Amino acid sequence: MSNTANIPAPALAGQLPVAGTAYGLGIGPGEPDLITLKAYNILQKADVIAYPALEDGASLARQIIAPHLAGNSQNDRIEIAIRITMGEPADPIYDQAALEIGEHLKAGKSVAVLCEGDPFFYGSFMYLFGRLAEAGHPVQTVPGVSSMMACAAQLGAPLAAKNDVLQVIPGPLSEDRLRAQLGNTDAAAIIKLGRHFPKVRKVIEELGLTDRARYIERATLETQKMIPLGDLPIDATAPYFSMILIHRRGDAWR
């Protein structure tokens, strides 16, 4: 609750980004056009851009915004790749990144932290938000088009209507928890599939929901794939950037 003390009052569009302020920029699910005007404008003028990256430096977030910086003449922009090492604790990495970003903020620079989708929807930006806000830095979050919205749009499958209760269910949950959540669902988005995909698929099958389930991976990117879950080969695997949408009635509008 105390974090709200550091959230600056909204500035006029032309004044953004404000010096010494960090912005968590929602940059959408993948297609570069699915970025808000506010995020786009901050991106153009930010002194520093930080983004999550794999160990080798590859970053989906950086890739998404690349076309928006192509014609940008700001050559002295500083970039910080926050390299997350799989299997290692992330806290020290965020501690270090927050310190580095904090130094730029203290020097009066504006910092845009890129976040795929929306920053506050399971987004890694929130770990920096907490640290920066607690250190007293002004931090603002710019909402983005979340992957859940993009997946529904691409699949042509409205998420929820009438009095449907929509659940967001992380794939890493235990089989029992998945069964309990999905057994009682009107509509669900199951995220973070990756290596949890076979377990999730098994529970969906057991609950008789397979013919209500749609699978999509890398929504809105050139490599997007989507298919009814039941049409996937039995030994199919799923990448991390994938999701299953379920609607018990089959279609939200019915």
User: What is each CA distance from 160 to 184, 192, 227, 246, in whole angstroms?
Assistant: 15, 20, 20, 10
* Choice between 109 and 241, CB closer to ligand SAM: 241
CA distance 18 to 16: 5
29 binding ligand SAM? (CB under 6 A): yes
Binding mask 106-145 for ligand SAM (x = CB under 6 A): ----------xxx--xxx----------------------
Number of residues that bind ligand SAM (CB under 6 A): 23
147 binding ligand SAM? (CB under 6 A): yes
* Choice between 47 and 94, CB closer to ligand SAM: 94
Contact between 2 and 106 (Cβ < 8 Å)? no
Contact between 209 and 246 (Cβ < 8 Å)? yes
> Is the CA virtual torsion 45, 33, 53, 6 positive or negative?
positive
Cβ-based neighbour number of residue 190 at 10 Å? 28
6 binding ligand SAM? (CB under 6 A): no
Within 183-237, strands assigned E span: 187-191, 213-217, 225-228
Q: HSE, CB side, 13 Å, CA atoms: give it for residue 139.
A: 25
242 binding ligand SAM? (CB under 6 A): yes
30 binding ligand SAM? (CB under 6 A): yes
One of 35, 146, 207, 252 touching ligand SAM (CB under 6 A): 146
40 binding ligand SAM? (CB under 6 A): no
CB of 75 to ligand SAM, least distance (A): 30
191 binding ligand SAM? (CB under 6 A): yes
CB of 18 to ligand SAM, least distance (A): 24
Give the residue among 196, 201, 198 at the shortest CA–CA distance from 228.
201
One of 241, 245, 247, 252 touching ligand SAM (CB under 6 A): 241
* Choice between 104 and 132, CB closer to ligand SAM: 132
196 binding ligand SAM? (CB under 6 A): no
CB of 31 to ligand SAM, least distance (A): 9
- Percent helix / strand / coil, the chain, rounded to 5: 35, 20, 45
Three-state DSSP class for residue 217 = strand
Give the residue among 84, 29, 85, 90 at the shortest CA–CA distance from 243.
29
User: Segment near ligand SAM (CB under 6 A), from 41-49, 105-113, 180-188, 191-199?
Assistant: 191-199
Can you give the binding site for ligand SAM, defined by CB under 6 A?
Answer: 29-30, 116-118, 121-123, 146-147, 151, 191-193, 216-220, 240-243
